Structure formats: C-alpha cells, structure tokens
Amino acid sequence: MTIRDFFLRQVRRLSVTGLLLVLAHGAWAQASSPPHKSVAPGFQGLAVSEKILLMPVDVEVFSLSAGGVAEPRADWTAAALGHMKVAIAHKKMQLRASVVELPEGAADEFEEQVGLHAAVASSIALHHSTGGMWALPSKAGLLDWTFSDAVQPLQARSGARYGLFVWVRDSYATAERKAAMVALALLGVGVSGGVQTGYASLVDLQTGRVVWFNRLARATGDLREAAAAKESIEALLSNFPAPR
C-alpha cells in the first residue's frame, strides 16, 4: 500500500464527529492560522504572471442529532456549495491573480487529488496548526508538507503552476440537539452545537509542495446562508499571499 493510498483510506474511515473533535482541540478561539505558520520556508509569494488552478470545492454539511451523531444533509450541502462558489468568485477578483478552473466534466478525473488534499490538510491542521502535543518534532514547527508527484497531472492538464484547494465541513444542531444542550447545561455539562472546520492549501503543482495553508476551526458561521458563507471564505483566505 502506498502512502497516498494509506492517507485516502484513513480519511474514509474517519467519522465526521471524531474528526471535528480532534481538530477543535485548543482551536475554539482561533479562527485561522497565525501568519508565520501559514507559509512554507523559502516561499517568496506569487508573481502576477503565475497561473493558479482553483480546484473543485470540497464541502459537506451535517446535522447533529440529540446524541451528537452527524448526519449528512444533501440540501444543506448543495446550498453551501452554491454560496461558496459565489463567494470564491468574488474573492478571485480581489486576488489580482490569474485563476483558472478545470473544464466542465474534468473534475471527476481528479477525485484522487481532492481526496489526497483532505488527508494531507487534516494532518497539517493537527500536527502543524494545532501543534502542542500533536506537533511532529521532525517538522521543527515549519510548514513542510508535500504531495510529491501526485498533483503533477493537474499542472499538465491546466498549465497552472499552483493549485488552490478548499475543504470545509460544517454541522448544525437539530431542535432535539438544542434541547439536549439546554438540559445538559442545567446540569453543568457543556456540549457543542456544531463546528465549522475548513482548510485552504496553495500547492506548487510542479513540486507538490504546500507553500501556503490556512484553516478554520470554530463554533460559528453558517454556510447555508450567502452572507455567512462569504464571511467564511473571507476568513479562510484572509492571509492568502497576494501576487506581487
């Protein structure tokens, strides 16, 4: 089994609830990564002439039952995807960068790369952004992660030097969950009503190196609403390296 296959298998095995709990560790007050942890060593920024491939947005939205079980909601996910696409399109105009997208129907060819990003980004979020007891000593606190040659087909297909990946998972409490939260609060027990977790990664498609990374890990935001989804995208791309 290759490292890539291992990462993809691990992502499929992770329950949404379990993943959110791990990534929320120590992150409730942290909306995004500090600037010094967002850029890979030696990365000097983007040139205006360099092309960025915007990968298909990877988003899924869940409802939380009274017992905290995360259940996928296709209608909420569809609404979130639509709002996020509009928000990203607006953000593209602000970036002053040459941003391209895959041709219609070509996205399915690169599901493996999208899934691999979810695995790599979750590792960066845990071992780099969260750090502490989760930090990997071999990384020395640096943004030092790579896709190896797995993303080179994206460069060959698009002609872009960089790829921008966006991954978001969001959850909202049902009425039963909210009632349970109130009841447990009276007993002095606090439980979550939902968590918004997101990753944005800028990847050098030629080398596979992650040159910029940011994340969201918070109990606020609502991707089901256009204005709130726009705010989430703004927060996730808040310190994106502007082309020079």
- Taking each helix axis from N to C terminus, what angle separates 111-124 and 3-13, rounded to the nearest 10 degrees? 80
Tokens of 67: 């017992």
What does the mean pLDDT of the chain come to? 80
Report angle CA 241, 156, 56 to the nearest 5 degrees. Answer: 55
Q: Is-contact 173 194, C-beta < 8 A?
A: yes
Q: Is 204 helix (H, G, I), strand (E, B) or coil?
A: strand
Return the axis-axis angle of helices 74-95 and 226-236, rounded to nearest 10°.
50
d(CA 202, CA 208): 10
Map out the domains of the chain as residue ranges.
Answer: 3-7+14-236
Task: Using the predicted structure, report yes or no on whether residue 47 has a pLDDT greater than 60.
Answer: yes
Report the distance separating Cα 17 and Cα 194, nearest Å.
9
Closest C-alpha among 146, 148, 122 to residue 134 = 122
C-alpha distance across the termini of the chain, in Å: 41
Whole-prediction pTM value?
0.80
Q: What is the pLDDT of residues 159-217, one digit of tens each?
A: 999 999 999 999 886 545 455 444 445 555 445 556 899 999 999 999 999 999 999 98
Query: Model confidence at 36, in pLDDT bands (50, 70, 90)?
Result: low
Confidence of residue 21 (pLDDT cuts 50, 70, 90): very low
